[in-house]
Chain A
């Protein structure tokens, strides 16, 4: 063993190669250990609370995975097949105008927030001004056609909810984009430095980019699902009722609930509709905040743009989204 690997380690490219074999070996040991401990594991997960936890945990991951997969395939395709100049040409030259243009463009991509993080990352890499890419990141999951239709279906008596959601979400996304243009600093944003794939075969470059983004986004999704599932089985839902009667508390509670539940934007309207104790404005806040700030999204933003960015971006988005939604609600209802 020693005599075989030692000469390899001497040559620098081979040394890197050896590392890769090792991490596969770690993986193999991990798998064998997990299979061996299967009985123990199943026994430990036998209580109803832990079973519910694992069911919710898995369900969030499985529900989101198709959107992560399709979003990362799209982002890899953008990175590899679309010429870099395309986006800078397609969006208005004026940055102030590029932000609302990107925000409205976000309404075309039918996906949930899990898909929009990698796509927004690809846009930044392709030279789109971060303000516009962030407006896209926030608006895409909130105002796309699938979400609008599901909101209409979930609130049969109140079509105004559809307009309120569209207006408030687009407004908050554009405000965040403009805010980034004014105060945002490029060094807060860890630019996802993807390799320039120009030299490689396009297909292999696509495979490498998709593989990287899928595992990365998927890993952060798992963190968010972990947190959401834990809250799902520990926070008593009866607490909600106590706060529903106070208008200020109701808005804050649903805003926070949207963050911790991390429900995908295609489904959150049905959950909002079922929170019948709460006012329409509070439920609008839930629908505007949820697709823009939540636990899994925060974790995925850390993965895509870095912790320095996410720690500033997520709380600011939260405040803006709540304010815009409350304002919209006050105007309408």
Chain B
């Protein structure tokens, strides 16, 4: 049985955990970046309800002579008397957020999930790349241009991409980036096969920035049967994992 004071404290902690992960920016490991106003609203509402509830308890204690209000609350809370109460379980994700703050999804999930290029519109128009040498592209943009547009806009350019290293089931090296549409539960990778000069000892899940050129080869993803494009690497530089790990 969970009583009102405990419910208030649990709410305070959950609201606090949501606010903390939003303020620190870690929330982008779990949900889309644009969620922050909703997260502030939700965390703020929970903290407000908790604080009002705790204040109410103090007021009640102060007026112990007028017991009727206390009885009202007790009646309310007795509704689940003696039964298992799910409120306690809310502590589990809250503690995981506060104490573990697990990192964004990486190679483990990318290996289990098929490349997600299928969601890109098949009849999209691919304008010429912007100026720059090398030109910075997202993993998704590179993959879409090479798979859906046959690399037409890529062929004579040098590109720069960043993502994490993953080893496929065939022991081949891929550069991958997870995409999320809603939250990390639906995250799916975009994978690019790497050919050319790769430095030795690239650890899976480490982040690199690669500069290279279009490679017309494609593979078929074993999981989703979607095409996986290739990139010929000229240079690969280790970089720290970015705060915003997902592309959307």
Contacts and interface: CB of A to CB of B under 8 A. Distances in A.
Contact of A207 (B1, B53, B74, B205): B53
Interface stretch (B90-98, B125-133, B155-163, B191-199): B90-98
A263 B182 contact: yes
B207 interface: no
B100 to A, nearest CB: 6
Interface stretch (B81-89, B134-142, B143-151, B231-239): B81-89
Interface residues of A, number: 87
A56 B35 CA distance: 16
A20 interface: yes
B79 A263 contact: no
Nearest to B79: A193
Contact of A63 (B100, B185, B223): B185
Contact of A58 (B3, B52, B93): B93
Interface string A23-63: 11011001100110010011001001101101111111111
B209 interface: no
B103 A216 contact: no
A280 interface: no
Contacts of A54: 96, 100, 102
Chain B CB within 10 Å — which of A21, A207, A262, A276 has the most? A207
Given A55-B30, A63-B185, A216-B87, A211 B53 contact: yes
A7 interface: no
A70 interface: yes
A308 interface: no
Nearest to B104: A55
A208 B21 CA distance: 26
B96 A58 contact: yes
B49 to A, nearest CB: 5
B176 interface: no
Given A55-B103, A59-B185, A214 B4 contact: no
A225 B93 contact: yes
Given A20-B6, A207-B53, A237-B114, A63 B30 contact: yes
B69 A62 contact: no
Contact of A23 (B5, B41, B92, B188): B5
B66 to A, nearest CB: 12
Contacts of B205: 48
Nearest to A156: B121
Nearest to A76: B49
B23 interface: no
A203 interface: yes
A168 B155 CA distance: 46
A320 interface: no
Interface residues of B, number: 87
Given A66-B35, A263-B182, A273 B223 contact: no
A182 interface: no
Interface in B69-125: 69-77, 79, 85-93, 95-97, 99-100, 102-109, 112-114, 116, 118-119, 121-123
Contacts of B18: 62, 65
8 contacts: A19-B1, A34-B95, A38-B99, A45-B100, A65-B42, A210-B49, A216-B86, A273-B119
B113 A237 contact: yes
A66 B89 CA distance: 17
Interface in A263-295: 263-264, 266-267, 270-271, 273-274, 276-277
B49 A13 contact: no
Contacts of B97: 58, 62
B186 interface: yes
B45 A73 contact: yes
B30 A59 contact: yes
Given A66-B41, A208-B73, A30 B10 contact: no
B62 interface: no
B56 interface: yes
Contact of B49 (A211, A267, A277): A211
Interface stretch (A98-106, A170-178, A194-202): A194-202
A236 interface: yes
A167 B39 CA distance: 32
A70 B53 contact: no
Interface in A213-239: 214-216, 218-223, 225-226, 228-229, 232-233, 236-238
A41 B42 contact: no
B110 to A, nearest CB: 10
B136 to A, nearest CB: 26
B172 to A, nearest CB: 17
Contact of A66 (B42, B91, B122, B185): B42
A271 B4 contact: no
A323 interface: no
Given A62-B97, A222-B89, A273-B119, 11 more contacts: A24-B3, A27-B9, A31-B13, A48-B205, A59-B183, A66-B38, A195-B79, A208-B73, A221-B90, A262-B185, A277-B225
